[in-house]
Every structure is written in C-alpha cells, then in structure tokens.
Amino acid sequence: MPVVVSLDNAVLEFLVYAAIAVITLIGLFKCIYPLWRNASLLNRAVVKLERNAAEGGRPLWHEARFLGRSLRTEWQQFLYNAGQMDMRGMPCDLNDYLNEETVLDRPGHAQLAELIPGLLTSLGILGTFMGLMQGLTDIDFTTAEGTITSIPQLLSGMRFAFATSVAGISCSLLFNMLNRMAAGRAMRALHSFEDAFYELAMTRPLQADVQLMCQKQDEEARLARLAENVGNHIAASLEVAVGRAMAPLTQSLDTFIKCATREQVDGVRRIVGQFVQQLNASLNGQMTALGDTMTAVTKGQIQAQQNLKNALETSRSLAESAKSIQDSSAQVARTMKELSDALNAQRIEQNVGVDAARTAAENIAARLEALGESLGRMQSALDRLSLDLDEQPAAASQDGEPTAMAL
C-alpha cells in the first residue's frame, strides 16, 4: 500500500510538472517564436529596402517572397491589389494587409497567449491543492506516535504543493515577459518596415477622410467641366441652328437694303445735278465759272501748303544742323578745357619736379662740399701721418748709434 501511494504521488507530481512544461513549450513555439520570426523578417526587409535604394536596381519588393514564407499570403494580396489600384490611379494602404492582426495576433495566437499564463497559474494552484490533499490524507493526530509518523507525509505533500506553485507561477511570469518582449519587438519592426517602405518604395497614401474629400473635390471639378462642355456644345448648336434659320432672311434684308440705298444715292445725285444745272442756267454760267475759280483757288492753296511744308522741313533741317554744330562746339570747348586742365596739372607737376630737383641738387652740392672738407681733413691727417713715419726712423737711428759705440 505505501508503494502504491508513493507511486501515485510520483505520477501525479510528474503529470503536473509535465503539463506545466508542455504548456510552456506550446506557448514558446506557438506564440513567442512566430512573433520573433516575423520581427526578424520585417527587420531584414528594411535592410533589403535600404540596400536596394542605395544600389538603384530592380525593386525587390515586387517579389512575392520578399517577406518570407510566413507573411507571403498577405504580401501577395498587397502586391495584387496595389497593382490593380495603381492602374486606376488610386493609392493602396500597406496597413490594410500588414497590421497588428496579421503580424502579431494571428501568427502569435493571441487568444492562446492570453490563456497560457492563467492556465500555468491554475496548474500551479492545482498542484498546491493536490499536494496539500496528499499531505493531509491519512494523517493521524489522535496519538503522539501517529502524529510523528504523519509529519513526513505532510511535509512531502507541502513540498509538492509549493514546488508546483513556484513552477507554475515562474513559467507564467517567464511566458508573459517573453511574450510582451516578442510582441513589442514585432510591433517596432512593423512600424520600422512601414516607415521605410513608404520612404523608399511607395508614397504614403492619404487618410480616409482626406482621400474622400479629395475625391469629392475631383468629382465636383469633373462635373463642373462636364456641365461647361455641355453648355458650350448646346450654345454652339443653338448658334448654328439659329444662323442657318436666319440666313435666308438676313440675305433678303441685306439685298433689300443695298438696293434701296443705291436707288436713294442715285436719286440724290440726279436731284443735285438738276439743281446745279438749273442754278447755272439761271445765273448765265456764273456757277460754272465759280466752280472753276474755286478749283483754281484750291490748287493754289494746295501748292502753298506744299511750299510751306517744304519750308518747314528746310527750317527743321537747319535747326538740326545748328543743334549739331552747337553740340560739336560744346564738345570742342569741353575738350579744350580738359586739355588746358591737363596742361596746368602737368605744369604744376613739372614745377614740383623742378623744385624737388633743385632741392636735391642743393643737397648733393652740400654733401659734395662736406665730402671735400672730409677729404681735405683726411689728406691733412695722411700728411701728418707720413711726417710722423718719416721722423720715427731718423730718431731710431740716432738712438742706435750711441748704443753701438758703448758696446
């Protein structure tokens, strides 16, 4: 019986620890590893984008395997939809395909990740109660011997209870910490990839409200242009139709007006001619003579105006000639004045030069005179030196003769 009880305790302890270990491993491989893998793929994609932008080759992000196997489906959907919307002149938002749900929640099994810490803690508490139950089973406090015999069993059960609690809570804390670190790393990698992609590969799309506003304004502008074109077309069509309808009437009116005007002019001419003829006949041809005289006077006035015009042109040319002569005289006067000023300046410079030369000559003469005096003094000194030199041998010879004689 003790062997069965001990076997049962060992099996229960193994099962609890095995359950904690299995759940922890499931959390590591199902929740934490996918987040670390996606974060690494996104960081690697950022490096590829920067290297491709620096080299300037074919864009690598057009490939379906750009983000790896785990994110291939989302990336293929983005490429397909981006190509279709680009052909229609519409932007495609990367955040609709690569977001917190597709990169973190779904690959990392967010619901399972929320369940695992509580499950580990529950397993630890379950092990605690099982250990306490094993320690308190068959305990005997009726006698002192039974109490002493039950203490090892109670301590064994409490050890199992506390150990399972420590294991469950420790694994729960470790999983929470690793899961939060992996989620934060994946989120930072997602933001870094989004910023790098919009900076190096594609223009960042507008916000939804701004895009709707721009589309509304574009639609209003298109409708305004369409209304203007329709109005211009209708006006042109009406103008052509009215012109075609009124063309015969306008032509008839023009013909009538031209004929009526021509007849009126001819009638006025005939009336004036008859009036002039009758007036000339009544005045015995004086009207004709007056006309001839007026014609001669007109011709004389025209000739006088022509002569006056010629005289004005001649006087204008004389005035221009006089003005040019005056300008030339003024130019000659200015030139003579400049020459006079130049001569005066040159004369002043020559006077200054002559004064300087005179002063220099006087200085040179004074120096030559001083030099002559110095040479005279030097000659006198040389004469005295030569006399001294001549007198010294003679004195030496006179001193030497008595000495020789004494010897």
Whole-structure pTM value: 0.48
- Local structure of residue 28 (DSSP, 8 states): I
Single-letter code of the amino acid located at 103: V
Q: Are 126 and 169 in contact (CB under 8 A)?
A: no
Q: Are 126 and 33 in contact (CB under 8 A)?
A: no
User: How does DSSP assign 65-82, residue by residue?
Assistant: TTT-STTHHHHHHHHHHH
Nearest to 176 by CA among 114, 119, 231, 226: 114
Range among 61-65, 168-172, 215-219 with highest mean pLDDT value: 168-172
pLDDT for 369: 81
CA distance 86 to 156: 71
pLDDT for 132: 75
Q: Are 172 and 28 in contact (CB under 8 A)?
A: no
**CA separation (Å) from 134 to 10, 152, 166, 301?**
11, 11, 18, 151
Q: Are 165 and 129 in contact (CB under 8 A)?
A: no
pLDDT for 178: 94
Largest distance between two CA atoms of the chain: 186
- What's the chain's average pLDDT? 77
The confidence band for 260, taking pLDDT boundaries of 50, 70 and 90, is low
The confidence band for 177, taking pLDDT boundaries of 50, 70 and 90, is very high
Tokens coding 292: 């001839």
pLDDT for 386: 75
- CA angle 187–189–194, rounded 5-degree value: 95
Q: Mean per-residue pLDDT for 15-28? A: 91
Tokens coding 157: 């059960």
CA distance 29 to 121: 19
Tokens coding 279: 């007036």
